[in-house]
A and B are shown apart, each in its own frame.
Chain A
Amino acid sequence: MKIELYKGRFKKALLDMNKDEALHLARKILSTCPLQDFVGYVLVDVLEDIGIRWEQGTVSLAQIYICGKICEQIVDEIIPPGHGLKSYKQRIAIATLLDYHSLGKRLVASFLKASGYTFIDYGCGIDEETIIEKVQQDKIDILLISTFLYPTALKVKSIRDSLDKAGYKIRILVGGAPFRFDKSLWRQVGADAMGGCASDAVSIINIWVEEGNQDD
């Protein structure tokens, strides 16, 4: 009951972009529940709800950005280094394809981190050839690609085709404006899923990771 109360206030503090209050409440919640519950039940839940509100148009990008940043900071400050928040075997990487508009990637990275995931960040402005080479070198299982322009979104197809041709198995999750303006585009470019927002991306990764764990 107490957690529920604090959870609502924690969400409000995030949406009000009030870092101090959010950090204070996060500490309060952590004093009443185990760390795993805080991440799984509070952080992930709250971020998911905020993400849904963004998709519905009632929350702005600025709020999403600040929420992700605060939650990332909470993970860094409150959670002990090396603490295993998640147990999974897949290797995850994220990149912004061919562009320096890196906010989308940054948001997803913040949400992933706040949800207990570790991943390789390939940065922004990276081309298809480099991504294809790197994912194979790093033995990546899940690749998140952020795009800004429509023609760039179309280039995901060449990444998919090249990796298929090389016999490399990978799941590709795409996101960014072109995919939000054309809801069928992710299928056309051969992606396995599209994240409409940062929390959406985390929800999809959760499912894929769970499926991977069940395969063991």
Chain B
Amino acid sequence: MINATTSMDRVLTTLNHREPDKVPLFLPLSVYGAKELGMDIKKYFSDPKNVIEAQIRMTKKYNNDCYYGFFYAAIEFSAWGGEIIFPKDSPPTAGEPVLKRNAVPGTIKPPDVGDSKSLLRVLETIQGLKERIGNSAPIIGVVISPTSLPIMQMGFDNYFDTILERPDFFKSLIRANQEFCIQWANAQLNAGATAITYFDPFSSTSMVTKDMYNKMLHNIAKETLQRIREPIAFHLASGSCIPIIEGIIDSGPDVVGISCHEDIGQLKSICRDRVTLLGNLNGIEMCSWTRQDSEAAVKSIIKKAGAGGGLIISDNHGEIPLQVSEETLMAVGEAVNKWGRYPLTWTEVH
């Protein structure tokens, strides 16, 4: 066991597949910050100062081991000209698709990060967080993968049709998104982000067959990840990954974010000493959890996957819903403190 003095030490130790003082906790609190400040969601995200303040407060309040530079998934869609809808009680979401299925290959050009006021606010937030917290804890930046963003850009059905019926357009679409994804990831790293979460639900076997992943998606992810400065968390956003886990590991991430529908113990046996697992609390069920439920869920994950480091407790989707109570988040933090202290002698079979 290594004595960690900061969240950064704790996280780096577990990423090196060694046991820190305790299992790190990443609560992905983005829109939850509006609740923390008692603010309307649109207003909250309109000023980086709000997000910085909320992140600082929430990290302390819930014993979180990271700061989350993520605003909402649809923010990238807005950089491509999409409309953002701001509901009162949920994350901002994408409006109608902006790319038509009959678009001409080669005509799609990636936007410049510097031209998007929304993305610049994210960069300002990351910079502000870095100034306030230094290297005490990781600041997490987020990108949507070049193969997942088209779901918002085109709509799921048109995107599926494109993949299967218009391979030339698919290639052109992905190239443009890949350039944007790399530009956006590196901009966040330059602003002070410590790591990038690469959300790629489309690659999950909940979405596509293993064969489709191997033939069409694996190389795109590998190429993209190689051009983003490490470390990277490959996050399936609650999609399944066991059938393609070797491919994901081969694409080069340090961390894999996994679904609550998959057995973290089985994944640990495959990933031990190779990639760190991030997950896999059920964020939807969390909305109605008692303190006992929170403790049981955290304890179960640690028992199955805590030994030897290589584990970060988190939800399985990358966003804590507003409907999760503060008491539940506190209970999750307390359970990690109680059951996640290394060495995990209580998990040993006698």
Contact = CB atoms under 8 A, between A and B. Distances in A.
Interface of A: 17, 57, 60-63, 65-66, 98-103, 106, 125, 148-152, 154, 177-178, 181-182, 184-185, 188
Given A57-B240, A66-B160, 17 more contacts: A61-B206, A61-B207, A61-B208, A62-B208, A62-B212, A63-B209, A99-B93, A100-B97, A101-B156, A103-B157, A149-B91, A150-B321, A152-B87, A181-B283, A181-B285, A185-B284, A188-B288
A181 B206 contact: no
Interface string B91-103: 1011111000000
A154 B284 CA distance: 12
Interface in B114-163: 151, 155-157, 160, 163
B209 A182 contact: no
Nearest to A152: B90
A65 B160 CA distance: 8
Contacts of A184: 288
Contact of B238 (A99, A181, A182): A181
Given A150-B323, A151-B90, A57 B205 contact: yes
B251 interface: no
A102 B93 CA distance: 13
SS of B interface (majority): loop
B188 to A, nearest CB: 25
Nearest to A17: B164
Contacts, number: 82
A60 B87 contact: no
A130 B91 CA distance: 22
B155 A150 contact: no
B285 A151 contact: no
8 contacts: A62-B160, A62-B164, A62-B208, A100-B97, A102-B157, A125-B95, A148-B93, A150-B323
A65 B283 CA distance: 26
B260 interface: yes
A181 B157 contact: no
Contacts of A154: 323
A17 B161 CA distance: 12
Q: How large is the interface on B (under 10, 10 to 19, 20 to 34, 35 or more residues)?
A: 35 or more
Interface of B: 87, 89-91, 93-97, 151, 155-157, 160, 163-164, 205-209, 212, 238, 240, 260-261, 282-285, 287-288, 321-323
Given A57-B205, A182-B287, A98 B87 contact: yes
Contacts of A99: 93
A100 B94 contact: yes
A133 to B, nearest CB: 20
A99 B91 CA distance: 12
A63 B208 CA distance: 7
Contact of B287 (A63, A100, A150): A150
Nearest to B160: A65
A160 to B, nearest CB: 18
B206 A57 contact: yes
Contacts of A150: 90, 284, 287, 321, 323
B76 to A, nearest CB: 15
Contact of A182 (B89, B151, B261, B284): B284
B144 to A, nearest CB: 14
Nearest to B89: A151
Select the residue from A148, A151, A181, A184 with max chain B CB neighbours within 10 A.
A181
A157 to B, nearest CB: 13
A57 B241 CA distance: 10
A102 B160 contact: no
A119 to B, nearest CB: 18
Contact of B208 (A60, A98, A185): A60
A114 to B, nearest CB: 16
Contact of A106 (B95, B157, B207): B157
Contacts of B212: 60, 62
B34 to A, nearest CB: 13
Contact of B90 (A61, A65, A149): A149
Contact of B284 (A17, A98, A152, A181): A181
Contacts of B285: 181-182
A57 B209 contact: no
Contact of B207 (A60, A102, A182): A60
Select the residue from B87, B90, B151, B208 with max chain A CB neighbours within 10 A.
B90
A152 B49 CA distance: 29
Contact of B206 (A60, A103, A149, A178): A60
A178 B87 contact: no
Contacts of B151: 101
A102 B160 CA distance: 13
Given A61-B207, A63-B209, A150-B323, A178 B156 contact: no
